[in-house]
Amino acid sequence: METKDNVNNSKTNFFKTKGIIFLIIFLILISSAFVFLILRPKNQSSQEHHSELKTTTDYSIEKVVCYSSAYGINKEETQARWDLNLSQYTDIAIYLNSQPNISTIYIDNISYSNTEGNTYHLINLPIEDFGKTPTNNIDILPTERIDFSTSSPITLRYLNQNFKENCVITDIENPLVFDGNLLKRGKVILSSLKNTVSFTIHLTNTSGQEFSYPLEIPIPLENKETGKTIYSGNYMEENFLTNAYFYILGNYTNR
């Protein structure tokens, strides 16, 4: 027979257990909120910041054209094999819809979604070199800012330099073509080259007013719907942007 003391003890234990459960749930919620605030992506904070800014129709991005290919530096050539250092590059042309009163253009906040490698570079590219295969490796100094002339398009080269060193190719019966076909012959899986480059474009007009736009560009290597890939030599994409208006920094009167 259950006594009154047993009943009271049971109720006390029940409320203690329930209180502990509530405390654990509360601590989990607090910890989750803390982790979210600490580890949330930087670009999310950037998006929240830009959502508070106004835009102008005077300056916008019309389209982005990307041309992807590859090349190799031949370290050794014998009768039985080639020994190459492989690199992949994507030339980027950003076309602006803008008034002719721009005085400066530059980019900063450069980052890459693929953080596993350290062979990624972003460099200024003269428009006349767009789509031209490099003939050798170049020494690239780390930079936090790239300046451009005020003409459109502005052109960049994303370079994944020497991502595969000492790549031995033994099927030397076929001529060696220094383009995206090297990736196929070097047995490079395209998913391993997947990356997205991010940066902020800054404009200043002749009145000294500043504008900015954060841009993310996935490095295009293939189109699974059409079957076209960089393996055939090169791969090109043209993407038109809508409502890609620059954000206004500071006071500005839209004329």
- The radius of gyration computed from the CA coordinates of the chain, to the nearest angstrom, equals 27
- pLDDT value of position 230: 98
- pLDDT value of position 22: 64
- pLDDT value of position 115: 84
H-run or E-run covering 37: helix 4-39
H-run or E-run covering 216: strand 210-218
Peptide bond just before 214 cis, omega within 30 deg: no
- pLDDT value of position 203: 95
List the alpha helices (DSSP H) in 40-180: 42-51
- pLDDT value of position 141: 81
- pLDDT value of position 40: 44
Cβ-in-10-Å burial (0-12, 13-18, 19+) of 184 comes to middle
CA 117 to chain centre: 13
- pLDDT value of position 126: 94
What residues contact residue 215 under an 8 Å CB cut-off, 6+ apart?
A: 61, 64, 94, 198, 199, 200, 201
Could you report the average pLDDT of every consecutive run of 10 residues in the chain (255 residues)?
50 56 66 45 50 87 97 75 92 91 96 89 95 84 90 94 91 86 95 96 94 97 95 96 93 58
- pLDDT value of position 135: 76
- pLDDT value of position 53: 85
Instruction: Find the angle CA(99)-CA(101)-CA(102) to the nearest 5 degrees.
Output: 95
Q: Which of 188, 196, 192, 238 lies closest to 219 in space, CA to CA?
A: 196
Mind listing the pLDDT tens digit for each residue in 154-186? 999 999 999 999 998 888 788 888 999 999 999
